[in-house]
Amino acid sequence: MSHAHRSSALPIVSGSQGALAARGGPAVLFGLPALLWPGPTLAVLVIVYGAFALVYGAVAIFSGLGPTGGMRRWLLAEGVLGLLAGLVALFWPGLTAAVVLYVFAFWAAFSGFMRLAGPSC
């Protein structure tokens, strides 16, 4: 394979080392502890997600209570769903962990299949 052909086959990789580092660094920083301490990592992930969803939901509700307009109903609905998701995550962490597992598994499998079957770009 010639050098010109190789660089044109990998335009994203060859032209964006910063983007690779921005994706790869956090992946390693998350992946290593997850492999070494899966139980505590999952527990922390569920708790952080639950807290995030509660805060996000509260902010959306607060924003929905502001000026009237077309977005008001959507913000209120989004806020209620966020609060419910946060409460479920914090009160039923086992259920949340199972959902996270399946979402991740489907995402990883789908991404892998698309990389193998899709165009090489």
Residues belonging to the chain: 121
CA 46 to CA 44: how far, in whole Å? 5
- Per-domain residue ranges of the chain: 1-36, 37-121
CA 30 to CA 21: how far, in whole Å? 14
pLDDT, tens digit (0-9, with 9 covering 90-100), for 54-95:
999 999 999 999 877 778 889 999 999 999 999 999 999 999
Whether the full predicted model's pTM is greater than 0.75, yes or no, is no
Give the residue-averaged pLDDT of 102-119. 81
Give the residue-averaged pLDDT of 94-107. 89
Q: Could you tell me the pLDDT band of residue 9, with boundaries at 50, 70 and 90?
A: very low
CA 120 to CA 116: how far, in whole Å? 8
